[in-house]
Structure 1
Amino acid sequence: MWGGRAQVLCRLWGLRPAGVPGRRVLSCHAASEEGSGSARCWNCGSPGRGEGFFCHQCRALQPPDPTRDYFSLMDCNRSFRVNTTKLQHRFQQLQRLVHPDFFNQRSQTEKDFSEKHSTLVNEAYKTLLAPLSRGLYLLKLHGIEIPKGTDYEMDSQFLVEIMEINEKLAEAQSEAAMKEIESTIQAKQKECTDSVSRAFEQDDFEKAKEILTKMKYFSNIEEKIKLKKIPYS
């Protein structure tokens, strides 16, 4: 049983995706030969865990790798442009490997690790799927975060625009009025997504930060629209 599972693990976890700096690409065999430089298995003490989730000797599930970022975990290049179809496929693959339902007959330690892995995979998938959260995470990897209360950094014209949209939303009394506002926000989010993608491609992180801040405002309006649409659904 473990022979076939090991091959799957080697395919999924043996190679580091291209574009992730600072880590040497390892084949499955090379990972097994890594030696004393790798973390030791908690179960059998064997060195050379490599890049996988399972010990290459006893096949016990190992704890999450704290050095692995979401892009690496989900087999994506560290870039704002992400193939969401590939991302979803990767998510499904990983959940079939580490979901707690597959560890009912294993040790309590492995059950605990599977919970952590499954949670991590869910968080990574959710973060990289949405443009806003993906952009914010990418900024964070570059040491840049957007603190709360950044109104003073936005130009007054933009803040007036947000205020006017919020007022229009508050006054909307029909489904048609709601859809009009929703279409406007979707168009603005699409424009921002295209702009922030270009900013990341040019390594202009300050510009990306500015655009992502605007996207946060539009995202807040989208949440308000969802809440207000409930009576119409």
Structure 2
Amino acid sequence: MWGVRAQVLFRLWGLRPAGVPGRRVLSCHAASEEGSGSARCWNCGSPGRGDGFFCHQCRALQPPDPTRDYFSLMDCNRSFRVNTTKLQHRFQQLQRLVHPDFFSQRSQTEKDFSEKHSTLVNDAYKTLLAPLSRGLYLLKLHGIEVPKGTDYEMDSQFLMEIMEINEKLAEAQSEAAVIEIESTIQAKQKECTDNVSRAFEQDDFEKAKEILTKMKYFSNIEEKIKLKKIPSS
């Protein structure tokens, strides 16, 4: 029964690995012909990962593919520009496919794999949904890490601006004043998002790194704003 259901879902959703630069995606038949170089099903021993989630022979759920990045998993191009509506649909599709609730009657091995898949899908969705985390992840795929905290050297003018905003927020005595600061930060984040998008399009990763670091500062202020806001009664 599950095998038929899964096959119908795959046909409807087109769940197959999306191509990423430098990596050739194999069909089930091609994967089978790879022989010993392909991963084998833990349940029946068949070579190849089939559709990337289930064995193409016995339909047993396979462990997550360690070579697959978040963009490929969520069927997105490896780009800063992401269609968030399509991303949400993909997230819902995958969770319907691998969520632990659907594996309560399966083997313990598949239950464990389902937990791992579901966690991975959640992490991928959250990472690619937000511009800041998406940009940081994209840099990471290019071998560039943004230091945590304030390790990245920023110009004194920007740091002075951040200091002034923090002081203004600390001194804010009304919800209206806090909301005004929040609007300012949102506008700055929008500007940074547009700028980092252009930087990625031009493969200017150093510029992208600089802008994303600024976005981290603004994000920290956004967290302080949440704490500062007067709770509604």
TM-score, length basis structure 2 = 0.92
Q: Relative to 1, partners in 2 of residues 1:143 and 1:123: Cα closer, same or farther, differing over 3 Å?
A: same
Tell me by how many angstroms 1:85 deviates.
0.1
For residues 54-104 of structure 1, give each alpha carbon's deviation from its aligned partner in whole angstroms, at most 9, with x where no partner exists. Answer: 111111111110000000000000000000000000000000000000000
Q: Give the structure 2 partner of residue 19 of structure 1.
A: 19
* More displaced stretch, 172-181 vs 151-160: 151-160
* More displaced stretch, 50-59 vs 203-212: 50-59
Partners of 1:41 and 1:55 within 8 A in 2: yes
For residues 111-169 of structure 1, give each alpha carbon's deviation from its aligned partner in whole angstroms, at most 9, with x where no partner exists. Answer: 00000000000000000000000000000000001112435610000000000000000
Q: Relative to 1, partners in 2 of residues 1:164 and 1:94: Cα closer, same or farther, differing over 3 Å?
A: same
Tell me by how many angstroms 1:33 deviates.
5.1
Partners of 2:55 and 2:62 within 8 A in 1: yes
Tell me by how many angstroms 1:13 deviates.
8.6
The separation in 1 between residues aligned to 2:5 and 2:97, in whole angstroms, is 9
Partners of 2:19 and 2:72 within 8 A in 1: no
* More displaced stretch, 148-157 vs 1-10: 1-10
Partners of 1:80 and 1:200 within 8 A in 2: yes
Q: Give the structure 2 partner of residue 54 of structure 1.
A: 54
Partners of 1:139 and 1:145 within 8 A in 2: yes
* More displaced stretch, 85-94 vs 17-26: 17-26
Tell me by how many angstroms 1:175 deviates.
1.1
Q: How does 1:105-184 map to 2 (within 5 A)?
A: 105-150=105-150, 153-184=153-184
Partners of 2:61 and 2:110 within 8 A in 1: yes
Aligned-residue Cα RMSD (Å) equals 2.1
Q: Give the structure 2 partner of residue 9 of structure 1.
A: 9
The separation in 2 between residues aligned to 1:63 and 1:17, in whole angstroms, is 15
SS at match of 1:150: coil
SS at match of 1:177: helix
SS at match of 1:168: helix
The separation in 2 between residues aligned to 1:60 and 1:15, in whole angstroms, is 16
SS at match of 1:29: helix
For residues 21-56 of structure 1, give each alpha carbon's deviation from its aligned partner in whole angstroms, at most 9, with x where no partner exists. Answer: 122233455445554331011111111223421111
Q: Relative to 1, partners in 2 of residues 1:203 and 1:11: Cα closer, same or farther, differing over 3 Å?
A: farther
* More displaced stretch, 145-154 vs 204-213: 145-154
Partners of 1:17 and 1:76 within 8 A in 2: no
The separation in 1 between residues aligned to 2:72 and 2:12, in whole angstroms, is 11
* More displaced stretch, 30-39 vs 168-177: 30-39
The separation in 2 between residues aligned to 1:17 and 1:103, in whole angstroms, is 22
The separation in 2 between residues aligned to 1:91 and 1:181, in whole angstroms, is 33
Q: Relative to 1, partners in 2 of residues 1:31 and 1:15: Cα closer, same or farther, differing over 3 Å?
A: farther
The separation in 2 between residues aligned to 1:173 and 1:102, in whole angstroms, is 50
For residues 208-227 of structure 1, give each alpha carbon's deviation from its aligned partner in whole angstroms, at most 9, with x where no partner exists. Answer: 00000000000000000011
Partners of 2:28 and 2:56 within 8 A in 1: no
Partners of 1:34 and 1:50 within 8 A in 2: no
SS at match of 1:232: coil
Identity, % of aligned positions: 95
The separation in 1 between residues aligned to 2:80 and 2:141, in whole angstroms, is 12
The separation in 2 between residues aligned to 1:230 and 1:60, in whole angstroms, is 51
Aligned length: 233
Partners of 1:185 and 1:222 within 8 A in 2: yes
